[in-house]
Amino acid sequence: MELVRLIIDGREVEAPAGTTILKAAESVGIEIPRLCYDPDLSLMGSCRMCVVEVEGNRLLPASCVTPIMPGMVVNTESPAVVEARKTILELLLANHPFECMTCEKAGACILADYAYRYGVKDSPFVGEKYCYAIDESNPFISRDLNKCILCGACVRACEEMTGQDNLSYLNRGYRRKATTAGDVDYIDSDCVFCGQCVAVCPTGALTEKAMKGLGRRWEIERVRTTCPFCGTGCNFDLAVKDKKVIGVLSNPDSPVNGRSLCIKGRFGWDFIYNENRLTTPLIKKDGKFEHASWDEAFDLIAKRFNEIKAEYGPDSFAALSSARCTNEENYLVQKFTRAGMGTNNVDHCART
């Protein structure tokens, strides 16, 4: 592999040919601001927050789409670069509602982080403001296009990660927006409610409806777990506040799925607190179910299994396992069936 040497912020960097300036900088721990760039999505280079200064080039190229060249000298925080980023933020904030105090994305909004970083408090560009109606039709996602910065992350995630192609761009210029086909409400579109758009949105334009008003992002503890709905083994983080689950958040470090989740994994967590969920074992006595301890339940199961095996033989018993269980649990089921009950009558729902 051909390696290219260049200088970034006074540091000598070596990276494979074809690597972008942004990726080369990241390889040595230099963080370049970005809004439209996402490592899981195709390159777009539209937000211009990642511009850098390259000696010998009078323009400020976007580092996320500019490949490195031998001998290139790059400055990521020069006065010209900082001024350009401040102007970009002022242009974005010119049409952005200043609702940070009540925004659900407060504490996790990248736009707010960069405004704080570069000291941008307001915008000198005065003009017409967006006044889109907030779309609450989707049972899981709240969509506020007034907070959209047209980074295109949701459009690319819907197309490239989900393959649904439900979102695209509509109109031009000031009226341009990322929306559904025909600009219909989410509930009337081809949305499959996977929530990939929410996971990649850098602002409060797309948020989880179930988490609304339940906690700020800095108040939430993230607890890694594995989705129980199928055998794929997707990982995600449970959003926990005051020892109670209030939502699910994607984790890019998940080895199986990255940030990708289906509707069940991302939004099907509320069964945890369903009032109809069994929380203790039930044993039928005199035709009625009564609450019992776990020891009572296990003792009864062991007793009845032994009685059935003694009276009807081992082959009267069969076990059906599930893809929702872990490999270790499925192994124990077949081992118990063969070694404990003495039969090979064991099957699995995913066998076919």
**How far is Cα 19 from Cα 13, in angstroms, rounded to an integer?**
12
On whether residue 236 sits in a domain, the answer given is yes
- Residue pair 293/281 in contact by the 8 Å Cβ criterion: yes
Average pLDDT over residues 258-266: 92
In percent, how much of the chain has pLDDT > 90?
A: 83
Residues 241, 298 within the same domain: no
Residues 7, 69 within the same domain: yes
Q: pTM of the prediction?
A: 0.84
Residues 307, 340 within the same domain: yes
**How far is Cα 70 from Cα 60, in angstroms, rounded to an integer?**
18
Q: For residue 352, is pLDDT > 70?
A: no
Could you tell me the two tokens for 74? 């790059």
On whether residue 58 sits in a domain, the answer given is yes
Buried b (16+ CB within 10 A) or exposed e, 47-81: bbbbbbbbeeeeebbbbbbbebeeebebbbeeeeb
Q: Which helix (H) or strand (E) holds 222?
A: strand 221-226
Could you give the number of structural domains in the chain?
3
What is the per-residue pLDDT across 85-116, written as a single tens digit (0 to 9) for each? 999 999 999 989 988 999 999 989 999 999 99
Q: For residue 301, is pLDDT > 90?
A: yes
Range of the structural domain that residue 23 is part of: 3-77
Average pLDDT over residues 173-178: 91
Residues 290, 272 within the same domain: no
Residues 7, 59 within the same domain: yes
pLDDT at 158: 94
Selection from 258, 116, 254 nearest residue 200 by Cα: 258
**How far is Cα 69 from Cα 161, in angstroms, rounded to an integer?**
31
Residues 304, 340 within the same domain: yes
State the CATH number of the domain containing residue 247: 2.20.25.90
Residues 267, 307 within the same domain: no
What is the per-residue pLDDT across 6-40, written as a single tens digit (0 to 9) for each? 999 999 999 999 999 999 999 999 999 999 999 99
